[in-house]
């Protein structure tokens, strides 16, 4: 019994062991052969399906390196790995390093067969590139069997830093006295001086700064690319440092005077910003999560300023009737930030009451993001000073009824003669029907023209009031040659005169009559005398017949060689003929659509054919064309210029105009210049005395031109229109308007030259000072210290760019321009510029009208080469211009200034 019981127990134990072994084998793998009908399978009639039933995957976690740790030299990667079956069953524990923003890791090494749960491998960090928080550790733990593999991939949750070479941050835009001096942190004997920077600060004087509160890693951080500070704008992007996710920061704006500041982040009111200070033109606030674009707005008001293409900010362009004009509205907060909210809107209305109309209905303006301005376009069929109002709303900012007004000067152009009027020839005692003047004249503004003619003796010249066809009626029995000039006049009394037309009336033979007999008495002796008849016999000699004229006549000239004074036998000087029209006869005939063009002739000229024709003053510009011909003084890049008023047809090259100047003190040169000039003048005067009377006039003219050119005597008393105050404001507005489309370097040099000349006028120096000399003279000004400090900071910033060999980016140029505008608006008095009386009331209206009219007449006289008249009209313009308000002066200044220089140039040529 006992034996049987032992056998039974052993059997039970064996069965238990067999069950356990089978269960474990079942857990490891189970293979089942599955067969089914062929029509339910594709490719094969049978298949084998394997099921892997395994225990849970290994548990793994990175234990080293920790988050944001800084590693250099030799190091290790460590992990903790556990499995339910025991770590001895692990096939391998592999370690990898994954670079930021990539998914593929670099295999480091494997660690296997540990009795405990701690694994690790060693590696040298110098085999990997330095990267701030740029490397992610990863561990892969797994075991394999015949049928399946169990694998675990675990990565660290935060990146760490490999740093074997210290590199300061890329922050060249922030090298100044209010930013952290990273050069001073450099330790040649140590490593890691940029990995743990306390309260790193980056700022730009007079604009703003950012303090990243606490300790942060800025080794090789690209600050320049991820931090932009300008007037009322600080933009921080996430890439400023990979080790800074949402840093606590303190932001400061300088130079802002705002009563009720509201902080905006990425265009919306910042809910995580806390205002700390708003005093002394400085606003400081803190933010818990700093990446974003920050601006300050004045909750109390918005501002809109308007201008158009005829204003300095719009390019000082001249606009005529039927030409499209662009109008601009600059809607900003009180701090100067553009308002481009989705619900913001601006509209414009025009006052055409001077022509019998009231204000037009509102015309919506569209926001132009590249200009940061609201714009619209329109044309006018009337000329004059047309006022307009702009009204803007920004509901999301609780701003409404923000208005501004301005006026645009639309000009009327004179009519144009398209073709030369032909000479006319016809017989006496007949009426000639001449040309249709509408074929020879046009008005580029589309106005209806009225025609008149000059007085002509012996011939009545009549122009039909409706058809404008000419009739010529000579006096009875008149023949001979006369001339006439026709004038086309538009409704605003602008006119153009034609070429001189020669009128030839041909003598025709009279009906046969009694011969003229001349009797001569002869006395003498011899008791007798008598009457002798002496008859003068005409002897006519005629030229060859002309070709057949367009009036249907051939003409010739006949001369009495015996000069009897009679025409009894005079041959005919004209005869009828059949005229064959041509394409060069100056007459519109033979189916032509214009005079000598169209139909069977070459096509008529247009304003788009790249040919100067049909009365154009340039190629496809002027005359009948809407396009105004450019000049080298109009502040616009046109007429094939390579830049604005340089290159191409202009005498000054763009290289010369925009080339950076080398800093050279000129004070000594200026002082010696006058002495040299006096010596030269003495020699010239002595030479003139020797030259004698014959050449005196010529050389005196040259001398006076020389004296006028160097500023010792005025050029014939021509009042100068070089007004520093207006020139500076005009240039600053022009540069502002060209920020979006012009090269930053060229605009910077224009800004630097404008402000240097402005300071030179403020200081009343007779030489071009260096920036160092400017700074010294500024310190002597009778101005508050804060103002002098702002000027000196600006001068240093400009000098740093101009002579520092740096490329200026658009944000910094925009910042410098804003500084310049604020300094100019501060109202520094220009030396020698006296207070002036400004016209008002009726006197203002008369002065504005007279100045505008005189400027138009002066330009027309100059183009017609009537320089004396141009000079007289310019003086008339100047005498009225000087009493106009600033806004009107700015509108007229550029054109008047260009005219002044052209007349001055003619005066110097004698």
CATH number assigned to the domain comprising residue 129: 2.60.40.10
Looking at 162, 194, 223, the residue that finishes a domain is 162
C-alpha distance across the termini of the chain, in Å: 152
Q: Both 317 and 371 in a single domain?
A: yes
What is the DSSP secondary-structure string of 153-205? EEE-SS-EEE-SS----B-GGG-STTS--HHHH--TT-S-TTSSEEEEEEEET
> Which residues fall within 8 angstroms of residue 845, CB to CB, at 6 or more apart?
none
In this prediction, the residues of the chain whose per-residue pLDDT falls under 50 are 2-3, 26-45, 356, 513-534, 661-680, 683-715
Q: Give the structural domain span for 394.
A: 302-411
Q: Is 636 part of any domain?
A: no
Strands 501-506 and 424-427: parallel
Q: Both 754 and 898 in a single domain?
A: yes
Q: Both 441 and 402 in a single domain?
A: no
For the purposes of burial, counting CB atoms within 10 Å of the CB of 827, is it exposed (0-12), middle (13-18) or buried (19 or more)? exposed
Q: Both 294 and 310 in a single domain?
A: no
CATH code, domain with 206: 3.30.1610.10
Return the pLDDT at 723.
Answer: 80
Looking at 101, 131, 162, the residue that finishes a domain is 162
Phi-psi category of residue 13: left, alpha or beta, with phi > 0 → left and psi -120 to 50 → alpha:
alpha
Q: Does the pTM of the predicted model rise above 0.85?
A: no
> How is residue 20 written in tokens?
């356990």
Task: Report the C-alpha dihedral over residues 475, 478, 480, 482, rounded to 10 degrees.
Answer: -10
Task: Report the C-alpha dihedral over residues 201, 205, 208, 211, rounded to 10 degrees.
Answer: 10
> Which residues fall within 8 angstroms of residue 875, CB to CB, at 6 or more apart?
718, 719
Q: Both 264 and 182 in a single domain?
A: yes
Q: Both 850 and 730 in a single domain?
A: yes
Return the pLDDT at 32.
Answer: 39
Q: What are the angstrom distances between the C-alpha of 789 and each of 312, 595, 799?
A: 29, 70, 15
Asked if 299 and 260 touch (Cβ cutoff 8 Å), the reply is: yes
Q: Both 741 and 887 in a single domain?
A: yes
Q: Is 882 part of any domain?
A: yes
Exposure string of 805-826, with b = 16+ CB inside 10 Å and e = fewer, is eeebeebbbbbbbbbbbebbee
What's the CA gap between 383 and 445, in Å, rounded? 10
What's the CA gap between 548 and 562, in Å, rounded? 30
> How is residue 15 written in tokens?
């069965």
> How many CA atoms does the CB half-sphere of 286 hold within 13 Å?
7
DSSP 784: -
Q: Both 206 and 107 in a single domain?
A: no
Q: Both 23 and 76 in a single domain?
A: no
Of residues 294, 299, 331, 329, the one with CA closest to residue 311: 329
Q: At what angle do helices 785-802 and 744-763 cross, to 10 degrees?
A: 140
Q: Is 763 part of any domain?
A: yes
Per-residue pLDDT reduced to its tens digit, 723-738:
877 888 878 888 887 7
Return the pLDDT at 51.
Answer: 57
Q: Is 110 part of any domain?
A: yes
Q: Both 90 and 219 in a single domain?
A: no
Return the pLDDT at 267.
Answer: 83
3-state secondary structure of 324: coil
Strands 574-576 and 553-555: antiparallel
State the residue for tokens 């070459």. 602
Please report which helix (H) or strand (E) contains residue 900, including its range: helix 886-908
> How is residue 434 written in tokens?
């001449």
Of residues 619, 310, 321, 620, the one with CA closest to residue 494: 321
Residue 344: phi and psi, rounded to 5, are -75, 145
Q: Is 592 part of any domain?
A: no
CB atoms inside a 10 Å sphere around CB 242? 19
What's the CA gap between 53 and 478, in Å, rounded? 131
> How is residue 678 written in tokens?
């006096």
What's the CA gap between 284 and 909, in Å, rounded? 62
Q: Is 360 part of any domain?
A: yes
Asked if 550 and 587 touch (Cβ cutoff 8 Å), the reply is: yes
Return the pLDDT at 432.
Answer: 94
The total number of structural domains in the chain stands at 6
Asked if 55 and 84 touch (Cβ cutoff 8 Å), the reply is: yes
What's the CA gap between 232 and 253, in Å, rounded? 6
Q: Both 185 and 284 in a single domain?
A: yes
Q: Is 543 part of any domain?
A: no
Q: Is 350 part of any domain?
A: yes
Asked if 409 and 320 touch (Cβ cutoff 8 Å), the reply is: no
Triad 215, 207, 186: Cα angle to 5° = 35
Q: Both 782 and 880 in a single domain?
A: yes
Residue 780: phi and psi, rounded to 5, are -90, -10
Looking at 35, 51, 67, the residue that finishes a domain is 51
DSSP 87: G
What's the CA gap between 348 and 781, in Å, rounded? 44
Instruction: Please tell me the chain's helix, strand, coil percentages from 3-state DSSP, rounded to the nearest 5.
Output: 25, 30, 45
Residue 502: phi and psi, rounded to 5, are -90, 125
> How is residue 372 written in tokens?
């940061």
């Amino acid at each position: 019994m006992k034996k049987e019981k032992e056998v039974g127990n052993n059997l039970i134990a064996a069965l238990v062991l067999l069950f356990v072994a089978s269960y474990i084998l079942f857990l490891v793998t189970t293979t089942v052969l599955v067969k089914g009908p062929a029509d339910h399978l594709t490719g094969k009639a049978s298949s084998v399906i394997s099921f892997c039933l395994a225990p849970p995957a290994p548990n793994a976690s990175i234990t080293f390196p920790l988050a944001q740790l800084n590693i250099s030299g030799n190091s290790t990667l460590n992990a903790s790995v556990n499995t339910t079956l025991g770590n001895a069953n692990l096939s391998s524990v592999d370690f990898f390093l994954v670079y930021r923003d990539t998914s593929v890791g670099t295999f480091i090494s494997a660690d296997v067969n540990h009795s405990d749960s701690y694994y690790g491998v060693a590696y040298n960090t110098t085999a990997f590139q330095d990267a701030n928080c740029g490397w992610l550790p990863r561990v892969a733990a797994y075991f394999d069997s015949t049928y399946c593999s169990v694998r675990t991939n675990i990565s660290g949750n935060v990146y760490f830093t490999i740093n074997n070479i210290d590199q300061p941050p890329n922050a060249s835009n922030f090298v100044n006295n209010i930013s952290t001096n990273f050069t001073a942190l450099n330790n040649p004997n140590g490593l890691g001086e940029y990995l743990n920077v306390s309260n790193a600060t980056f700022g730009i004087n007079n604009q703003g700064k950012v303090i990243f509160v606490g300790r942060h890693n800025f080794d090789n951080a690209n600050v320049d690319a991820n931090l932009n500070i300008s007037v009322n704008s600080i933009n921080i992007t996430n890439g400023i440092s990979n080790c800074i996710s949402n840093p606590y920061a303190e932001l400061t704006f300088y130079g802002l005077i705002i009563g009720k500041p509201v902080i905006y982040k990425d265009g919306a009111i910042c809910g995580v910003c806390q205002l700390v200070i708003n005093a002394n033109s400085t606003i400081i606030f803190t933010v818990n999560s700093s990446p974003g674009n920050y601006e300050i707005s004045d909750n109390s008001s918005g501002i809109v300023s308007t201008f158009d293409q005829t204003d300095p900010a719009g390019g000082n362009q001249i606009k005529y009737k039927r030409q499209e004009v662009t109008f601009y509205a600059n809607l900003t907060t009180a701090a100067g930030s553009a308002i481009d909210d989705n619900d913001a809107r601006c509209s414009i209305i025009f006052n055409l009451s001077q022509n019998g109309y009231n204000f037009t209905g509102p015309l919506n303006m569209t926001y132009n993001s590249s200009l940061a301005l609201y714009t619209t376009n329109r044309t006018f069929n009337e000329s004059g000073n047309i006022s307009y109002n702009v009204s803007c709303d920004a509901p999301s900012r609780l701003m409404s009824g923000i208005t501004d007004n301005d006026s645009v000067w639309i000009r009327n152009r004179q009519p144009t003669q398209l073709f030369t009027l032909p000479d006319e020839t016809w017989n006496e005692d007949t009426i000639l029907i001449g040309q249709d003047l509408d074929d020879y004249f046009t008005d580029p503004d589309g106005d209806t023209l009225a025609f008149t003619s000059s007085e002509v003796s012996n011939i009545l010249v009549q122009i039909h009031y409706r058809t404008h066809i000419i009739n010529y009626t000579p006096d009875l029995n008149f023949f001979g040659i006369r001339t006439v000039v026709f004038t086309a006049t538009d409704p605003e009394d602008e006119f153009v005169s034609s070429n001189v037309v020669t009128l030839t009336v041909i003598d025709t033979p009279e009906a046969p009559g009694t011969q003229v007999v001349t009797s001569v008495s002869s006395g003498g002796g011899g008791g007798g005398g008598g009457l002798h008849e002496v008859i003068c016999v005409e002897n006519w000699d005629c030229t060859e017949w002309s070709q057949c004229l367009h009036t249907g006549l051939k003409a010739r000239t006949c001369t009495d060689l015996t000069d009897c004074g009679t025409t009894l036998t005079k041959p005919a000087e004209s005869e009828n003929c059949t005229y064959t029209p041509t394409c060069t006869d100056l007459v519109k005939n033979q189916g032509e659509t214009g005079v000598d063009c169209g139909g069977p002739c070459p096509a008529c000229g247009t304003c788009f054919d790249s040919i100067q024709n049909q009365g154009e003053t340039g190629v496809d510009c002027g005359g009948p064309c809407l396009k105004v011909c450019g000049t080298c003084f109009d502040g616009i890049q046109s007429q094939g210029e390579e830049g604005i008023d340089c290159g191409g047809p202009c005498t000054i090259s763009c290289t010369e105009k925009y080339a950076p100047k080398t800093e050279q003190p000129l004070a000594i040169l200026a002082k010696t210049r006058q002495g040299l000039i006096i010596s030269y003048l003495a020699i010239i005067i002595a030479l003139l005395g020797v030259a004698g009377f014959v050449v005196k006039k010529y050389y005196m003219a040259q001398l006076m031109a020389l004296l006028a050119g160097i500023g010792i005597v005025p050029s014939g008393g021509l009042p100068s229109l070089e007004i520093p105050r207006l020139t500076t404001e005009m240039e600053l507005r022009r540069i502002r308007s060209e920020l979006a489309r012009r090269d930053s370097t060229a605009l910077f040099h224009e800004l630097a030259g404008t402000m240097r000349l402005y300071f030179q006028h403020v200081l009343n120096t007779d030489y071009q000072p260096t920036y160092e000399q400017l700074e010294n003279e500024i310190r002597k000004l009778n101005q508050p210290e804060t103002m002098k400090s702002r000027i000196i900071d600006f001068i240093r910033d400009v000098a740093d760019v101009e002579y520092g060999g740096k490329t200026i980016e658009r944000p910094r140029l925009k910042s410098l321009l804003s500084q310049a505008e604020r300094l100019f608006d501060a109202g520094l008095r220009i030396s020698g510029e006296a207070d002036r009386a400004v016209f008002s009331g009726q006197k203002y209206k008369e002065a504005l009208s007279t100045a505008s009219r005189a400027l138009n007449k002066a330009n027309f006289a100059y183009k017609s080469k009537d320089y004396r008249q141009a000079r007289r009209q310019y003086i008339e313009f100047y005498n009225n211009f000087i009493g106009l308000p600033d806004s009107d002066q700015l509108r007229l200044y550029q054109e008047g200034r260009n005219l002044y220089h052209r007349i001055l140039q003619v005066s110097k040529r004698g």
